[in-house]
């Protein structure tokens, strides 16, 4: 079974890791392609930073920080401290080992290599056996429309710590962008597409905004895992964003967000109350423990999602038979 997963950073990386471990058990992790959000990408100290791509790659490579879920394990900050002492900006800190990634990526981008190729080469160097694809080789930066005006994503997310009240989002340059090489192929070849439990507004929507992605998805069964449990996020501003946009945050709101695309939806046992309504929409629903604690939690949910994907395919076969 071939799987294409759409992912942002922390929540996306955790499930992508679980799926890759689950597929490795039953056959081959090479059957997984992870299509990653690039809306958070920005320049800092003249370097190209791709937070979600790096979180996904570090996690899959087993070199990510288990404490934060982003950045690298056993990281030090000597370069950042030295730069800050000289008056450099301190609101976004890059670790020493992490800096190596940004230096080499920036060097290769300046030489004209596309981000997708650089990412593939980094993955090979890190020993990652599934495919990791930035959704586009062109920058498509997320702009957050707030009551304090329009803010670039990192300005909102890190510098302003998600404080400004959100009014909407804009994915700059999305209409002119193209999917990176391999993205449409991965979607077309997939038996099932999985939306990881990533932020629907600023992790999954920016992937869907790249022309061609929605079209490819509309021909595939899509299964999404809710990042919202009991109305709250495990981490990050997704629930706050729903509330500020006038939508009660819940697993149901996430399912409604993706409704036109969904064949299946996985929500937490705490949210079983929504199963009846979702079934009425014609969506296959599964309730399980969706919090991924440690590597065991990831592999458990990864395997459950793979079983769920098989169930969706079987249900579709039966309905066409
Ligand atoms: P970001 O780019 O680092 O913000 O990462 P994502 O958008 O991929 O993930 C953020 C979302 O992941 C948040 O809405 C969290 O609620 C969700 N999340 C993080 N860990 C877990 C988990 O273990 N289980 C589930 N279901 N969601 C999670
Ligand atoms: Ca992100």
**What is the pLDDT, as a whole number, of residue 92?**
92
Number of domains in the chain: 1
Distance CA 291, CA 192 (A): 22
Phi/psi at 97 (5° precision): -70, -40
> Looking up tokens 């997984």, which residue turns up?
32
Q: List the chain residues with pLDDT less than 70.
A: none
Cβ count within 10 A of residue 124: 10
Instruction: Tell me, yes or no, whether 154 lies in a domain.
Output: no
Closest-CA residue, ligand 1 atom 22, reads 291
Ligand nearest the Cα of residue 50 is: 2
Phi/psi at 281 (5° precision): -75, -5
Report the separation in Å between the CA atom of 50 and the middle of ligand 2, taken as the mean of its atom positions: 9
Instruction: Tell me, yes or no, whether 201 lies in a domain.
Output: yes
Atom of ligand 1 nearest to the CA of 52: 2
Residue 224: CATH number of its domain:
3.40.50.10680
Ligand nearest the Cα of residue 201 is: 1
Report the separation in Å between the CA atom of 202 and the middle of ligand 2, taken as the mean of its atom positions: 7
Residues 295 and 24 sit within 8 Å (Cβ to Cβ): no
Instruction: Tell me, yes or no, whether 149 lies in a domain.
Output: no
Q: Are strands 166-171 and 142-146 parallel, antiparallel or unpaired?
A: antiparallel
Global pTM reads: 0.98
Report the separation in Å between the CA atom of 237 and the middle of ligand 1, taken as the mean of its atom positions: 10
Residues 138 and 173 sit within 8 Å (Cβ to Cβ): yes
**What is the pLDDT, as a whole number, of residue 18?**
98
Q: Ligand 1 pocket test: which of 144, 198, 299 has the largest number of ligand atoms within 8 Å of its C-beta? A: 198
Report the separation in Å between the CA atom of 216 and the middle of ligand 1, taken as the mean of its atom positions: 24
Q: Are strands 284-288 and 47-49 parallel, antiparallel or unpaired?
A: unpaired
Residues 71 and 98 sit within 8 Å (Cβ to Cβ): yes
Residues 117 and 125 sit within 8 Å (Cβ to Cβ): no
For ligand 1, residues with CB inside 6 Å are 7-12, 14, 52, 55, 197-199, 203, 225-227, 229, 233-236, 238, 290-292
Length of the chain: 321
Closest-CA residue, ligand 1 atom 6, reads 198
**What is the pLDDT, as a whole number, of residue 67?**
87
Distance CA 218, CA 64 (A): 33
Instruction: Tell me, yes or no, whether 155 lies in a domain.
Output: no
Dump strand ranges (E) for 190-315: 192-195, 222-225, 228-229, 232-233, 262-268, 284-288
Q: Provide the domain limits for residue 98.
A: 3-144+172-320
- Start-to-end CA distance of the chain, whole Å, equals 20
Q: Ligand 1 pocket test: which of 10, 242, 267 has the largest number of ligand atoms within 8 Å of its C-beta? A: 10
Instruction: Tell me, yes or no, whether 297 lies in a domain.
Output: yes
Instruction: Tell me, yes or no, whether 167 lies in a domain.
Output: no
Instruction: Tell me, yes or no, whether 30 lies in a domain.
Output: yes
Torsion sign (Cα): 26, 13, 63, 130: positive
> What pLDDT digit, counting tens, does each position of 221-280 carry?
999 999 999 999 999 999 999 999 999 999 999 999 999 999 999 999 999 999 999 999
Displacement of CA 56 from its chain's centroid (Å): 8
Instruction: Tell me, yes or no, whether 115 lies in a domain.
Output: yes
Report the separation in Å between the CA atom of 166 and the middle of ligand 1, taken as the mean of its atom positions: 19
């Amino acid at each position: 079974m071939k799987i294409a997963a759409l992912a942002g950073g922390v929540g996306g990386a955790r499930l992508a890791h679980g799926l890759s471990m689950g597929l490795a058990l039953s056959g081959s992790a090479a059957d997984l392609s992870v299509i990653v959000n690039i809306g958070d990408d920005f320049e800092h100290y003249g370097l190209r930073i791709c937070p979600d791509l790096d979180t996904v790659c570090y996690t899959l490579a087993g070199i990510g920080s288990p404490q934060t879920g982003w950045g690298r394990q056993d990281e030090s900050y000597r370069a950042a401290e030295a730069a800050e002492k000289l008056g450099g900006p301190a609101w976004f800190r890059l670790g020493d080992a992490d800096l190596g990634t940004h230096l080499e990526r920036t060097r290769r981008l300046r030489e004209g290599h596309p981000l997708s190729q650089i990412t593939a080469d980094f993955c090979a160097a890190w020993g990652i056996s599934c495919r990791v694809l930035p959704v586009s080789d062109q920058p498509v930066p997320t702009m957050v429309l707030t009551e304090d005006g329009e803010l670039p994503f990192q300005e909102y997310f890190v510098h302003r710590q998600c404080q400004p009240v959100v009014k909407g989002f804009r994915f700059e340059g999305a209409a002119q962008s193209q999917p990176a090489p391999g993205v449409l192929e991965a979607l077309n070849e997939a038996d099932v597409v999985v939306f990881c439990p990533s932020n629907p507004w600023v992790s999954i929507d920016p992937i869907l905004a790249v022309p061609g992605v929605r079209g490819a998805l509309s021909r595939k069964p899509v299964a999404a895992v809710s990042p919202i449990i009991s109305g709250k996020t495990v981490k990050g501003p997704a629930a706050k964003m729903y509330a500020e946009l006038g939508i009660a945050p819940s697993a149901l709101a996430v399912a409604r967000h993706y409704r036109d695309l969904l064949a299946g939806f996985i929500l937490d046992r705490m949210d079983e109350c929504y199963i009846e309504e979702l079934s009425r929409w014609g969506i296959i629903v599964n309730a399980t423990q969706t919090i991924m604690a440690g590597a065991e939690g990831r592999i458990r949910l990864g395997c459950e999602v793979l079983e769920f994907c098989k169930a969706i395919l079987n249900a579709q076969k039966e309905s066409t038979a």
